[in-house]
Amino acid sequence: MPNLAFFGGMIHDEGGGQVRRWISREPLVIYRMIERDKKQLLKGMHILARMAFAAGAREVMLPVFGMTTITKESELDFLSENRIHASRIESASFHPLGSAKMSDSPARGVVKPTGETWAVENLFVCDGSILPTSIGVNSQLPIMSVSLMLARGIAADFGTYARRALA
């Protein structure tokens, strides 16, 4: 364990998915990776694995279901040959974006420019889900900026929102 290192890569994905109610307590998450995204992901894995070997790694574990560890950089060539089915790639998402998109009309999004939902009065969404899509870089600062802007707007108009809630 003292010699274990973890690396992660990020891509701007164009694929998409859905979150649906399911028969259990947990939702059903469906994601379909498009070919362009898969190629970018495999390229990122290749770069990170090469970096690990350059830093002295003796073996590299790739996030591919059923794959054994890689012990030589030359064993990474299969990544550029695009022979892995997307369903075998173990993917994760950090700061998922775009599931409650902000827009100027209810037909084009879930929340108003104020962060209030179009469907439910006085319900505000102030997180990364209101950004329109994945941005391909760490989204922590954009999420915090938009959330701060919305929070200031809510605070400035608090009297209006409070009166509506009490009515």
- How far apart (Å, rounded) are the C-alpha atoms in residues 148 and 138? 17
- How far apart (Å, rounded) are the C-alpha atoms in residues 18 and 32? 9
From 57, 88, 119, give the residue that closes a domain.
88
Tens digit of each residue's pLDDT (9 = 90 or more) over 154-166:
999 887 776 666 6
From 58, 73, 88, give the residue that closes a domain.
88
Q: 29 and 60: one domain? A: yes
From 88, 119, 146, give the residue that closes a domain.
88
Q: 119 and 138: one domain? A: yes
- The answer to whether residue 157 sits within a structural domain is yes
- The answer to whether residue 108 sits within a structural domain is yes
71 is written with which tokens? 């012990």
Tens digit of each residue's pLDDT (9 = 90 or more) over 53-93:
999 999 999 999 999 999 999 999 888 877 888 889 988 77
Domain count, the chain: 2
- Tell me the pTM: 0.68
Q: 34 and 63: one domain? A: yes
What is the band of 167 on the pLDDT scale with cuts at 50, 70, 90? low
- The answer to whether residue 31 sits within a structural domain is yes
- The answer to whether residue 10 sits within a structural domain is no
Q: 114 and 159: one domain? A: yes
- How far apart (Å, rounded) are the C-alpha atoms in residues 20 and 13? 20
Residue 60: which of 40, 80, 81, 74 has the closest Cα?
A: 74
Structural domain that includes position 105: 95-167
Q: What is the pLDDT of residue 116?
A: 94
